[in-house]
Structure 1
Amino acid sequence: MTMGLVPNGAEAGGQSRQWLRHAALSAGAIIIVAPFVWAMAISIRPPEEIFTRGLQLLPHSLAIARNYGKALTQMPLLHFLANGLFVCAAILIGQLVVLLPCSYALAKLDFAGRKALFALVVVGLMVPATALSLPLFLLVSAAGLIDSYAGLVLPWTISCLGIFLLRQVFAKVPDEIVEAARLDGLGEIEILIRIMLPMALPAVGAFSIFSFVRHWNDLLWPSVVVRSLDKATPPYGVMLFQSEEAGSDYGALMAGTVIIALPMIIAFVAAHKRFIDGVSLGGARR
């Protein structure tokens, strides 16, 4: 009888832990999603209902056409979105051009200083991007790239995170596969493109989402190097709209914020499975 009670107790304990995990995850999800839900709620409110006592998610009257129409007409929001798409795509392409051969070399080539270079990559992961803003600004200014797309793109074409992630993926590919490809007459670039890259596509997809979200939401660097609305990215453009045009029209500001956030949300929802697979693929070491 006693032995028959043990599985029931273990099962009950497992269910309790599962409920606790679900509760913790649900609480975390609510904390993360709540600001965006509240921004959406403000974006459909008329001005007189934004600053009211109490927490009312749904407004008494809707001002969707007014707020979103103002966001789209009183500032060049579509131009900001086009700038953000171009800058993020250019940064990602530059990062992939750099990190793919670097990751392959660190994982599969034997050369002097390989371990030291990989240690520098790991150290680079620990340096916050904000700490690099001043030296990068001085370099960009000396190169005459202030208020240019090149100034927005070039400083971020080297990603320590991408090199580390892809290096971990390439390191798990058996050396026998690479040696067999070399015996077949393939060069290192051909091995990288034809053999290694297809195996690493989930990790490349995950890194692409990381990169796009990071630079799409970046406000600090554009505010440092951009001097005109013509080169403004979405967050910086909305900030200029707030300070120069909108005044206290928070409904239109939140509408603009929702519009610039939606592309990244849609992209993540569409590619979330590949994102999870890519992070899992690069997480374990060989």
Structure 2
Amino acid sequence: MKIRAAFTELLRHLVLCAGALLILAPFVWAIAVSVRAPEEIFTKDLHLLPQTWAAARNYGLALTQMPLMLFLGNGLIVCTAILLCQLVILVPCSYALAKLSFPGRTTLFALVIIGMMVPSTVLSLPLFLMVSGAGLIDSYTALVLPWTVSVLGIFLVRQVFMKVPDEIIEAARLDGLGEGEILLRIMLPMALPAIGAFSIFSFVRHWNDLLWPSVVVRSVGMATPPYGVMLFQSEEAGSDYGALMAGAVIIALPMIIAFLVAQKRFLQGVSLGAAR
């Protein structure tokens, strides 16, 4: 039995390592390309390490030939605004769906579940028509407004609120606390790990979003990081893939660092948000 258990554990780790290598391979190759000379990128021989290091050239071009800091700043503004709006909406909505009784609560929660099943790309055309009709094209509002409600966040935080015993809430009401005070002083602190996990989900999803910015952005000054690099490819860099990969690595690093720093809280939040 011990041999079988050890073999099962070894097999599990091998599968996990293979999956991790498969996921990491594109990023590792992007880093490898970002430090290569242009003539070494398309060669018959496959070498992870370059024969001629061109990291200074490629990263220098990425930082000087395109307004990379502007793209990073736009991404930070847009992602932060989206996250703050989502939190302002999802926290009270999650509390209402979890602990308040009102007509239509079951129907509203069913709509939340349905919303999680609808791909965001399906909504791109109607959202564009709404934003265009309101005259918001090429603005921060156009980048932020369509994503201010997150059904994933509502579902995740609701699951945490559902685990809070009703007796605690009833005791708080008997002590004279209103629903807003109960939410802020009792419920919200309990949901902070789940909110932290959702914050990482939201930030990474909108930081890496390419489709929506390419629909509503018309100027370089409003470009977010992925869309800005795409503009650089089509207008400035041509076939200089070393500089393009350097730019891609730079815009990916903030999210990687943020995840590594918040990894423990992220895993804790995901586990707290599991279904009852």
Q: Please give the per-residue CA displacement for 1:80-121, whole angstroms capped at 9, x wherever unaligned.
A: 000000000000000000000000000000000000000000
State how 1:263-282 maps to structure 2 within 5 Å. Answer: 263-282=254-273
Given residue 27 of structure 1, which amino acid in structure 2 is its aligned partner?
Answer: A
How far did 1:184 drift? 1.0
**Matched residue, 1:38:** 29
1:14 equivalent to 2:5? Answer yes
**Matched residue, 1:199:** 190
Equivalent position to 1:89, from 60, 80, 91: 80
Structure 1 CA distance for aligned equivalents of residues 248 and 182 of structure 2: 44
**Matched residue, 1:241:** 232
Structure 2 CA distance for aligned equivalents of residues 48 and 223 of structure 1: 31
TM-score norm. by structure 1 comes to 0.96
How far did 1:284 drift? 2.8
Equivalent position to 1:166, from 157, 160, 168: 157
SS at match of 2:136: coil
How far did 1:24 drift? 0.4
Structure 1 CA distance for aligned equivalents of residues 135 and 164 of structure 2: 43
1:135 equivalent to 2:126? Answer yes
Equivalent position to 2:19, from 6, 11, 28: 28
Equivalent position to 1:216, from 170, 190, 207: 207
Deviates more, 1:180-189 or 1:122-131: 180-189
CA-based RMSD of the aligned residues comes to 0.5
Equivalent position to 1:110, from 83, 101, 106: 101
Structure 1 runs (4+) greater than 6 angstroms displaced: none
TM-score norm. by structure 2 comes to 0.99
How far did 1:204 drift? 0.3
1:157 equivalent to 2:148? Answer yes
Given residue 138 of structure 1, which amino acid in structure 2 is its aligned partner?
Answer: L
1:181 equivalent to 2:167? Answer no
SS at match of 2:273: helix
Given residue 41 of structure 1, which amino acid in structure 2 is its aligned partner?
Answer: A
Structure 2 CA distance for aligned equivalents of residues 185 and 94 of structure 1: 29
How far did 1:54 drift? 2.2
Structure 2 CA distance for aligned equivalents of residues 18 and 193 of structure 1: 44
Given residue 165 of structure 2, which amino acid in structure 1 is its aligned partner?
Answer: P
SS at match of 1:259: helix
Q: Please give the per-residue CA displacement for 1:52-96, whole angstroms capped at 9, x wherever unaligned.
A: 112100001111110000000000000000000000000000000
**Matched residue, 1:3:** none
1:144 equivalent to 2:147? Answer no
Given residue 157 of structure 1, which amino acid in structure 2 is its aligned partner?
Answer: T
Structure 2 CA distance for aligned equivalents of residues 136 and 103 of structure 1: 24
Structure 2 CA distance for aligned equivalents of residues 240 and 55 of structure 1: 29
Given residue 250 of structure 1, which amino acid in structure 2 is its aligned partner?
Answer: Y
1:119 equivalent to 2:119? Answer no
Q: Please give the per-residue CA displacement for 1:134-174, whole angstroms capped at 9, x wherever unaligned.
A: 01101111111100000000100000000000000000000
Structure 2 CA distance for aligned equivalents of residues 114 and 189 of structure 1: 19
Deviates more, 1:218-227 or 1:177-186: 177-186
Structure 2 CA distance for aligned equivalents of residues 186 and 140 of structure 1: 41
Report how many residues are paired. 276
Q: Which has the larger radius of gyration?
A: 1
